[in-house]
Amino acid sequence: MLNKHYKIAIIGAGTIGTALGNILASTGTEPILLHSIETQIVDGINENHINSKYFPALHLHPGLHATNNDRLLENCEVIFLAIPSVVMIGYLKTVRSHLPSGALFVNLAKGFGSESKTIFDCLKEEFPNPVCTMKGPSFAVEIINHIPTGFTLGFENPGHVSRIKEIFTGTNIHLDFSNDIRGVEILSILKNIYAVVLGIVDAQFNSPNLRFLILTKAFREMRRVLKWFGGREDTLFNYCGYGDFTLTALNDLSRNRTLGLLIGKGFFTEHVSHELVLEGKTAAMVFYQEISKTMAVEDHFPIIAELYHIFHTKYDISLFVNTILNFPEV
């Protein structure tokens, strides 16, 4: 019988949820509840201490308890949200009656919650709970292997900072902090767009000079988009900004960089588009459409505009890099 009085839960037993849950359980401070709708994962963790779907070769800490029983969420004080952004709000509505109104939600997902609204905005509209967000350069496979990893905690209430610090004390998770919670959320989406761009560049040219020229152009445009969407410029220099962007743009474990590599090599097809989770493609569309309501995207944010055209027009990809290089500095 599982302990029925968990203080900390993680909803979502994918890579990031399992990794963080295992790290927290390994401190031995208290048992950690990992909530999943997948019965096979729940049974595998509880019976064999293995998540056979996401980490089949790793033995998980016995203090990590899995469940698909929604009632076990009812006493939680902190609930980490580690499910995909596109389904998060809808799913949380289905378990609403089991979510304590005072529990602190900590959003780990990177993406829009609904149309052009951030997950933070959607959570604030739908639930009475206080909300923080955690974003940073954080491949789950490295977290679960105890590699030091940085996250930015975006917060509204400074009183929540000490609670999250306490939770991660003694782990490999290193935190910095920002009360620009909107900026933290926006940067976690923006970085996927420019990771696709760097993937295209690297697929066509193996050139450090060119790579970091385009990286700099992309970083400048990220700054402008961030400010346009109401974020603060200084948030770029938190883990959620420069750190997460460069990890995603330059490391081949990144899905969005891989998407760029496929596009740059001419292997991207509609079949690939439907089979993969393509955050960068979705983000480029949303940002382009939102900005175009008030200004010409091509004049102010040309890299986003060019990527949008790749996805929505007949585009000669061999011209992409020279086109980016010839954009005037804005």
* 238 pLDDT above the threshold of 80: yes
pLDDT at 210 over 90: yes
Given a cut of 60, is residue 136 above it in pLDDT?
A: yes
- For the chain, give every domain's residue range: 8-179, 183-325
- The per-residue pLDDT for 270 is 63
CA distance 257 to 151: 20
Q: Within its chain, how far is the Cα of 21 from the centroid?
A: 16
Within the chain, how many helices (H) and strands (E) appear?
15, 10
DSSP class of residue 144? H
Q: What's the pLDDT band for 267 if we cut at 50, 70, 90?
A: confident
pLDDT at 279 (0 to 100): 77
Residue-level pLDDT at 4:
62
Query: What's the pLDDT tens digit per position in 80-108?
Result: 999 999 899 999 999 999 999 999 999 99
Which pLDDT band, with edges at 50, 70 and 90, does 1 fall under?
very low
Q: Give the per-residue pLDDT at 91.
A: 96
Active site residues per annotation: 191
pLDDT, average across residues 213-224: 97
Q: Can you give the pLDDT at residue 269?
A: 65
Q: What is the mean pLDDT of residues 218-241?
A: 97
Tell me the percentage of the chain whose pLDDT exceeds 70.
Answer: 95
For 159-212, strand residue ranges (E) read 173-178
CATH number attached to the domain at 183-325: 1.10.1040.10
Phi, psi of 181 (to 5 degrees): -65, -30
Q: How do residues 141-161 score in pLDDT, each as one tens digit?
A: 999 999 999 999 999 999 999
CA distance 235 to 244: 12
Domain boundaries 8-179, corresponding CATH code: 3.40.50.720
> Would you place residue 324 in the very low, low, confident or very high pLDDT band (cuts 50, 70, 90)?
very high
Identical fold between 8-179 and 183-325: no
pLDDT band at 284 (very low <50, low <70, confident <90, very high): very high
What share of the chain has pLDDT > 90, as a percent? 86
Name the β-bridge partners of 104.
Answer: 78
For 53-63, the pLDDT digits (tens) are 999 999 999 99
* Local structure of residue 328 (DSSP, 8 states): P
- pLDDT of residue 3 exceeding 60: no
This prediction has a pTM of 0.94
Buried b / exposed e along 228-250 (16+ C-beta atoms within 10 A):
bbebeeebbebbbbbbbbbbbbb
How does the average pLDDT of the chain come out, rounded? Answer: 93
Residue with the bigger pLDDT between 135 and 266: it is: 135
The closest alpha carbon to 118, from 307, 283, 301, 295, belongs to: 283
